[in-house]
């Protein structure tokens, strides 16, 4: 049969968008430079530099649940056009939840994790795995992230 086959972009053509810099590219010295497809559209990076264009280095792909649970800023949820939207970073990063229950559960899990981390900061000797509340929260996060 005939037809066009969609090609993966070349390494130098692959680009991502940041809130402050617009389009950024993976630096040629990065181990991910030759990666032409990521299962998630989100990357975290350690370093951003500007030469002929803005590049990121030391980057890793991150999927949705770890981003929602561990990303900075507050998690917000709202109903938009019949869909439940979870947003981070004042709405810059947005996800559509499968249902209202999923959105509420993810938001609550994030709140519980934030509180657990605050408790750990206040009491560094606290063993999160031995604490019943901590072990339940950690188990739920591990299950969520590994089965997504």
In a domain, 3, yes or no: no
Residues in Cβ contact with 126 at an 8 Å cutoff, skipping those fewer than 6 apart = 119, 120, 134
- The alpha carbon dihedral of 97, 103, 105, 106 has a sign of positive
Query: What pLDDT is attached to residue 78?
Result: 86
Q: Which of 90, 80, 16 is nearest to 48 (CA)?
A: 16
Query: What pLDDT is attached to residue 3?
Result: 62
Query: What pLDDT is attached to residue 2?
Result: 59
Residues 90, 37 share a domain: no
Residue 87, domain extent = 65-146
Q: What is the pLDDT along the chain (148 residues), one digit of tens a residue?
A: 556 667 777 777 788 998 888 999 999 999 889 888 888 888 999 999 999 999 999 999 998 888 888 887 788 888 888 888 888 888 888 888 888 888 888 889 999 999 999 999 999 999 998 989 999 999 999 988 888 6
CA–CA distance, 89 with 73 (Å, rounded to integer): 5
Query: What pLDDT is attached to residue 7?
Result: 72
Question: Domain total for the chain?
Answer: 2
Query: What pLDDT is attached to residue 41?
Result: 86
Residues 90, 31 share a domain: no
Residues 70, 132 share a domain: yes
Residues 133, 110 share a domain: yes
Secondary structure string (H, E, C) spanning 73-126: CCCEEEEECCEEEEEEHHHCEEEECCCHHHHHHHHHHHHHHHHHHHHHHHCCCC
Query: What pLDDT is attached to residue 79?
Result: 87
Query: What pLDDT is attached to residue 144?
Result: 84
Residues 132, 71 share a domain: yes
Query: What pLDDT is attached to residue 5?
Result: 65
CA–CA distance, 104 with 78 (Å, rounded to integer): 10
Q: Which of 115, 108, 40, 36 is nearest to 77 (CA)?
A: 108
In a domain, 5, yes or no: no
């Amino acid at each position: 049969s005939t037809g066009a086959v969609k090609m993966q972009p070349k390494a130098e053509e692959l680009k991502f968008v940041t809130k402050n810099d617009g389009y950024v590219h993976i630096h040629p010295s990065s181990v991910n430079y030759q990666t032409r497809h990521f299962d998630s559209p989100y990357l975290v990076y350690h370093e951003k530099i500007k030469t002929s264009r803005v590049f990121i280095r030391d980057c890793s792909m991150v999927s949705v649940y770890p981003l929602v649970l561990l990303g900075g800023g507050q998690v917000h949820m709202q109903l938009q056009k019949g869909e439940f939207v979870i947003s981070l970073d004042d709405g810059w990063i947005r996800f559509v939840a499968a249902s209202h229950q999923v959105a509420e559960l993810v938001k609550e899990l994030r709140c519980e994790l934030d509180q657990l981390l605050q408790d750990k900061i206040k009491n560094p000797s606290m063993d999160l795995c031995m604490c019943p509340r901590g072990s339940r929260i950690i188990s739920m996060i591990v299950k969520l992230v590994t089965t997504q």
